[in-house]
Amino acid sequence: MQIVTIKPTKEIKISTEVENISPDKFAGKTEQEIKSLEAWIGNQKMTIGELFSVKVEGSAPAADTKIVMEGDFSRVKRIGEGMTAGLVIINGNVDMHLGAKMSGGKISVKGNVDSWAGREMKGGELIIEGNAGYYLGAGYRGESCGMRGGKITVMGNALDFVGEHMCGGEIIVNGNTGILPGLSNNGGKIVIGGNTSRPGSEMSKGTIIVNGTVDEMMPVFKLEGNEAVDGVTYKKYTGDVIVNGKGLLYIK
Amino acid sequence: MELLIKNGSVYDPSNGINGDKADISIKDGKIVDKVSSKATVIDAGGRLVMAGGVDAHSHIAGAKVNVGRIMRPEDTRSGIKPRTKLTRPTTGYTVPNVYAMGYRYAQMGYTTVFEAAQAIMKARHTHEELEEIPIIDKGALTLFGSNWPTMDFVREKNMDKLAAYISWGLLASRGFGVKVVNPGGGEMWGFGKNVTSLDDVVPNFDVTPREIIVSLMKANEMLGLPHSVHLHCNNLGKPGNYKTTLASMELADQVKASRDRQVLHVTHLLFNSMGGTNWGDFESKADEVANYLNNHDNVTGDMGQMIFGSATTMTADGPVQYANAKLMHAKWANGDVELEDASGVVPLYYIKQVSVYAIMWATGLELGLLTKDPYKMLLTTDHPNGGPFVNYSEVIALLMSNKKRQEEIKTVHEAVHSKTRLPGIERELDFSEIAIMTRAGTAKVLGLLDTKGHLGVGADADVSIYDIKPDQIDPSVEHAKIKSAFSSAAYTIKGGQVVVKDGQITATPMGRTYWVDARVPEQHTNEMMKDIVKKFKNYYSIQLANYMVQDAYLTHPKVVKAGAIPVEVR
Ligand SMILES: [Zn+2]
C-alpha cells in the first residue's frame, strides 16, 4: 500500500490544471519525484511541489495507491483524469473535469465538484457527497459519446445536462437535477432521486428514472402504461420519437 | 545556395531512374547538372530518394474545411502540439488547423498540395488559409459545375462565353483548374432534390449533367489549361453508381486533349465504384472502373482511399451529405453558395466490422491494384473524406504488401471476401509505382510535370529522402518499416532548403500559390461580362466590385499562363 497525502501550501485563486494527481502517476514514486511532476497554474508551467505539500508512505502499484487530498481544491481541475486504478479521497471541493476519462479505480469527494465531473468516463467509480455542477458524466464539446461505463453517485444535487450523450454506465443523483438530463443519450442509466425538467430529449437508447416530479415533460415521448422497476411502480415512456429513439423513461 | 545529395537510391520514374545510385545537385531552388565543391553535402547513405510528394486532391483550405473545424471541436482535441521556437501550435486530426496542414505534409515528404474545391465566391477565404499554410506549394481548383453562368452558356451552346467565364472565374478566384462536383446537383439541391443520371434536366436551366461535363471539357481544352476537368461524378456514394461513373468517363471520347495529359480526371473513385442496388446487396465494382481505365488513355482517376477510424466528409455535393447525415444519425452542416454551389459537412467513423465500410476500404485498394498503369490512378484519401492525409503511409504499405493486406482482411467484416476481389489480388506495387502515384503521376495529371514530381534538371528542388534502403528491404514482409518510413521523412527539401530532418521541422519558408491566367480574346470576355454584370445586378447579394480576389491575397503567387490566344504581358 502506498498512501500519498496532498495539501495546498497556499490559497489557489487562479485556475489550475493538475491531471498528474492520479494513482497511475504517483504509484511507486518518491515524494521528490511526485513534487517534480508538472502542474499548470494559469498559463504558467509549475510543479506539484510548488503548489502542494506532499507526504508519501510506502510504495505500491496504482491499484494499491491511495491519494488523500486535504483542503480547498476548488480551483484545481482534471484531478484523476484518465486514472485506471487506485483510490483518491478528496476532503474538500474540486474544480472541473474530476475523473474525466477514468477507466478504473475510485474517487470519493466529501465536498462539491464543478462541471464535467466524470466526463467521457469508461469505468471505475465516482462518489460525490456534495453537489455536482453542469454536464456530469457528459461528453465534452462536439463529442458524440459521453460516459461509456462505470458509476457516478451524487448525494446532493446536480445542475443541467446530466449524462449528455451518455453511451453506457450509471449515474445516480439522489437530489434534484437541472434541465435536460440524458440529453441525446445513447445508452446507460440515469436515476434521479428528486425533481428535474425535460428529461431524455433526443435520447435514442438508455434508461432514465425520475423519482421526484418532472416540471416540464418534452412532448416527444410515448406513454406505454405502468411498469414496476425494483418494486416501485412508474409511468413508462419510450422515445424520443423524433429520432426514432428506443429510450426508456420512467416517471413516478 | 548549393546542395548535393549523394549516394541516394533514386526513384525518378518519369526520367527512367528506378533505384539507381545517383547524386542530385541543387542550386538556387532548382535541380541542376552539377554544383561546385562548396555545396553543402547530404549523404543519403543508400536511402530512398524521391521528388517531393505532390497531392492533386485534398481539402486543406477554405469555407467547408473551416465548417468542419467549427462543428468538430472534439477533433481539435487530438493532435495538439504546443508551439516551439520554430513552429506554431497544431491541433486536430481530420480537420487540422492551418499550420498543421503544412507541417504534416512536409513531414511526410510532400511539398505540393492542391485544395480540391473552392467556390469562386468563397475563394477569398480559401486564400486566407492558403496564405497561412507553411512550407508547401499549393493551389485550389475552382468549382464550375453548378454555376448559373456555366449552365446558361452551356444551354446557349456558346463555347466562347463559357471559356471566357472559366478564364474570368479562375482570375476571380485565383484558381488553378476546373472542378466539377455533381454537375447540376448543386442547383437541384436548392429545391431539396438531386440529379440521378447524366440526362436529368436541371430545372430553370434546361441543361443536363452530360451537357455540362462535355461543354466544360471542351472549354477546358480550348483554354489549354494545365490540368484537365476534375470531376466528382453524379450519384456519388450510391450503390450502383459505377454505371454513372463509366458513362461519365466515356464522355471524354468527345473531346481532344490540348496537352500531353488526360481529358478528364475522375476523383475519389472509391466513392463512385459501387455496385448493387441498395446497402444490402452493395458490392465493389472497382474491377469495372479499373478495366475502363486500363483500356482508355484519356481518363485518369484517384483512389480516395478509406482509412478506418474518424473522418470528416466535406464536399460541394450538398444532397449526398444530407443523405449521409440522415443515414448515420450524424452531425450535419449545410452550405449554400448563391448562384454557384451547395456543400455539406458530416463527420463519420469508419468501423472495420461494418460490411459497407469494409467493402469500401477494399474498393479503394482494388482501384490502386487493378489499374495497371499507376499514371492513371493517383494515391489520395480525399482528405478528410476517406480519412486524414497523414495516413498515406498506411495506404502505401497496403499497396506494397499483400501480406499486410491479408493481415488486415482478417480484421475486417467478412463481406470483403464475397463483395470485393481484394483477397485474391497478389500484385504488390514497387517503389517506382508508388513514386508515380504520389509524384510523377500527380504532377502529370495536374499539368505540372515540367517542374514538379521529378528530379530532372530544371525541376523544382523539392526532394524527399526516406529511411529505407530499397536494396535491403522486402516491402512485402517488412511493411511496418515501409509505413513508418513514409510517415516521417528523413529529409524533406523544399525549393532547395531542408525543411524537415528526421521527421522534425527545421525551417518554415512560405510556399507559393499556383493559379492559372488563361487568356481569351477580349471581345469574348466583354460579351460574357455583360451577362455577369446582369447576374450581379439581379441575383447576387454582393457587388461585382467586391467579388474578385485581389493580388494582396496572394503574397507568393506562381502564375501559370494558358489561353486560347497568344498571351501579352500584363
Ligand atoms: Zn474531395
Q: What is the pLDDT of residues A214-228, one digit of tens each?
A: 999 999 999 999 999
Q: Which of B80, B83, B329 is most worth mutating to test chain A (most A CB atoms within 10 A of its CB)?
A: B329
3-class state of residue B450 by DSSP: coil
Residue B336 confidence (pLDDT): 87
Q: Which of A17, A120, A141 is most worth mutating to test chain B (most B CB atoms within 10 A of its CB)?
A: A141
User: B453 CA to chain A: closest CA distance, Å?
Assistant: 39
Task: For helices B159-173 and B148-155, give the axis angle rounded to 10 degrees.
Answer: 170
Cα of B399 to ligand 1 centre, how many Å? Answer: 21
Chain A partners within 8 Å of B331 (Cβ): 144
CB A142 to CB B329 under 8 A? Answer: no
Cα of B170 to ligand 1 centre, how many Å? Answer: 19
Judged against a pLDDT cut of 50, whether residue B569 lies above it is answered with no
A144 near B CB under 8 A:
yes
Residue recorded with cell 502564375: B559
CB A140 to CB B74 under 8 A? Answer: yes
Enter the DSSP assignment of B54. E
List the one residue out of B208, B207, B212 whose CA is nearest residue B229. B212
Helix (H) or strand (E) holding B4: strand B2-12
CB A142 to CB B74 under 8 A? Answer: yes
* Backbone φ, ψ for residue B467 (5° rounding): -80, 60
- Whole-angstrom distance, CA of residue A49 vs CA of residue A30: 12
By CB atoms closer than 10 A (0-12, 13-18, 19+), residue B537 is exposed
A140 near B CB under 8 A:
yes
Q: What is the mean pLDDT of residues B416-441?
A: 98
* Half-sphere exposure in the Cβ direction for A123 (13 Å, CA): 7
Cell numbers given for B265:
480526371
Helix (H) or strand (E) holding B365: helix B355-370
User: B261 CA to chain A: closest CA distance, Å?
Assistant: 44
Residue B565 confidence (pLDDT): 55
Residue of A nearest to B70 (CA): A142
DSSP B246-308: HHHHHGGGGS--SSSS-SEEE--GGGG-EESSSSSS-EE-HHHHHHHHHH-SSEEEE-----S
Residue B564 confidence (pLDDT): 67
The closest CB to that of A143, out of B71, B74, B329, belongs to B74
Judged against a pLDDT cut of 50, whether residue B289 lies above it is answered with yes
Q: What angle (nearest 5°) sits at the alpha carbon of residue A107, between those of residues A101 and A113?
A: 80
B77 near A CB under 8 A:
yes
A224 near B CB under 8 A:
no
Cα–Cα distances (Å) from B97 to B88, B94, B117, in that order, read 10, 10, 18
Residue B166 confidence (pLDDT): 98
Residue B567 confidence (pLDDT): 42
Q: What is the 3-state secondary structure (H, E, C) of A57-119?
A: ECCCCHHHEEEEEECCECCEECCCCCCCCCEEEEECCECCCCCCCCCCCEEEECCCECCCCCC
Q: What is the pTM of this model?
A: 0.93
- Whole-angstrom distance, CA of residue A151 vs CA of residue A243: 27
Chain B partners within 8 Å of A141 (Cβ): 73-74
pLDDT < 50 positions in chain A: none
Cell numbers given for B467:
529511411
Residue of B nearest to A186 (CA): B329
A43 near B CB under 8 A:
no
A216 near B CB under 8 A:
no
Judged against a pLDDT cut of 60, whether residue B568 lies above it is answered with no
Q: Which of B71, B74, B80 is most worth mutating to test chain A (most A CB atoms within 10 A of its CB)?
A: B74
Q: What is the mean pLDDT of residues B321-345?
A: 88
- Whole-angstrom distance, CA of residue B197 vs CA of residue B90: 42
Chain A partners within 8 Å of B73 (Cβ): 140-142
Helix (H) or strand (E) holding B358: helix B355-370
Are A74 and A8 in contact, with CB atoms under 8 Å apart?
Answer: no
Chain B partners within 8 Å of A185 (Cβ): none
ipTM over 0.95: no
Cα of B313 to ligand 1 centre, how many Å? Answer: 9
CB A140 to CB B72 under 8 A? Answer: no
Q: What is the pLDDT of residues B342-400, one digit of tens each?
A: 889 999 999 999 999 999 999 999 999 999 999 999 999 999 999 999 999 999 999 99
Q: What is the pLDDT of residues B482-514, one digit of tens each?
A: 999 999 999 999 999 999 999 999 999 999 999
Residue of A nearest to B71 (CA): A142
Q: What is the pLDDT of residues B13-70, one digit of tens each?
A: 999 999 999 999 999 999 999 999 999 999 999 999 999 999 999 999 999 999 999 9
As a dihedral over the C-alpha atoms of residue B197, residue B198, residue B201, residue B203, rounded to 10 degrees, the angle is 80
Cα of B307 to ligand 1 centre, how many Å? Answer: 15
A204 near B CB under 8 A:
yes
Are B315 and B391 in contact, with CB atoms under 8 Å apart?
Answer: no
3-class state of residue B397 by DSSP: helix
User: B16 CA to chain A: closest CA distance, Å?
Assistant: 50
Strand-pair partners of A65 = A2
CB A142 to CB B72 under 8 A? Answer: yes
Residues 37-76 of B with CB under 8 A from A: 71-75
Cα of B265 to ligand 1 centre, how many Å? Answer: 12
Are B222 and B233 in contact, with CB atoms under 8 Å apart?
Answer: no
- Whole-angstrom distance, CA of residue B447 vs CA of residue B439: 12
A153 near B CB under 8 A:
no
- Whole-angstrom distance, CA of residue B461 vs CA of residue B30: 5
Strand B341-350 relative to strand B30-32: parallel, antiparallel, unpaired? unpaired
DSSP B109-137: TEEEEEEEEE-GGGHHHHHHHHTTS-SSE
Chain B partners within 8 Å of A44 (Cβ): none
Chain B partners within 8 Å of A139 (Cβ): 74
The closest CB to that of B73, out of A141, A204, A243, belongs to A141
A:B CB pairs within 8 Å: 16
A141 near B CB under 8 A:
yes
User: B237 CA to chain A: closest CA distance, Å?
Assistant: 23
Average pLDDT over chain B reads: 95
Are A113 and A98 in contact, with CB atoms under 8 Å apart?
Answer: yes
